[in-house]
Amino acid sequence: MIADHASNYIPNSLNNLGLKKNLVNSHIAYDIGVYELCITLSNLLKSKYITGEYSRLIVDLNRDRSDPTLIPEIVDRKIISKNVNLNENDRRKRISEIYNRYHRKIKTTIKRNNITTLISLHSFNPIFKKKKRDIHFGILSNKDRRLSDCIIIEMKRRKMKVGDNEPYEGHLIGDTMYKHGLKNNLYHTLIEIRNDLLSSSTKINKVAALLKKIIINSINRM
């Protein structure tokens, strides 16, 4: 179990990247509710878990190193001033100390524990362009849809509001699922949860219990 965007932590030395505190506490900086969900669900499944320890605004762990949005300058029409014209030394430092360390940890954990299934957890805002998104969950996949298709079937069987590669596309070259799932031929999927379903510990426990059943049934189905 992994959660790339679990944290909104920004070291004091980066001065909130020039952003106001309310933005650092918003979805642009991290996936709200996912840290607690990842730990809760991992405990239920008795699985290993790895969570990102820094805000995606410092460096996005779910991007390829060559992706121009790896260190974003604009997010949701907000300028990340401390990322604009970032010098090469600072860029390399973020990649080395945060990005590379995170992905080495995933790689090592997979190898040492003979991991066969990789699940990534993310969350999304309920409102987009002033309209409420009508899905509760999104299952993102690349060309290996084995686990994703089984999860979608399980969710639809329960009459859940689920999107297939919604609200985002799941196939980014070099993203976490590509790098560690597809390239290793592991069963893998990315589950997006609408973050109003993760707004309290009670809601998170409910979602975790539901996802546990769905994941177990999906793996058994395969």
Domain count, the chain: 1
Q: Residue 171 — pLDDT band, cuts 50, 70, 90?
A: confident
Q: Decide the pairing of beta strands 50-51 and 2-3.
A: parallel
Residue 111 to residue 59: CA distance in whole angstroms: 25
Q: From the centroid of its chain, how far is CA 72?
A: 16
Say which CATH number the domain at 98 has: 3.40.630.40
Residue 198 has pLDDT above 90, yes or no: yes
Q: What is the mean pLDDT of residues 66-72?
A: 97
The model's pTM is: 0.96
Alpha helices in the chain (DSSP H): 21-24, 34-45, 88-94, 101-113, 146-157, 176, 201-221
Strand-pair partners of 132: 127
For 40, the domain range is: 2-221
C-alpha distances (whole Å) from 35 to each of 22, 26, 41, 129, 145 are: 19, 14, 10, 26, 25
Q: What is the pLDDT of residues 92-143, one digit of tens each?
A: 999 999 999 999 999 999 999 999 999 999 999 998 877 889 999 999 999 9
Residue 218 to residue 48: CA distance in whole angstroms: 18
- Judged by phi (left if over 0) then psi (alpha if -120 to 50, else beta), residue 26 lies in beta
- Please name which of 208, 218, 214, 219 lies closest in space to residue 3, comparing C-alpha atoms: 208
Q: Supply the pLDDT for residue 131.
A: 86
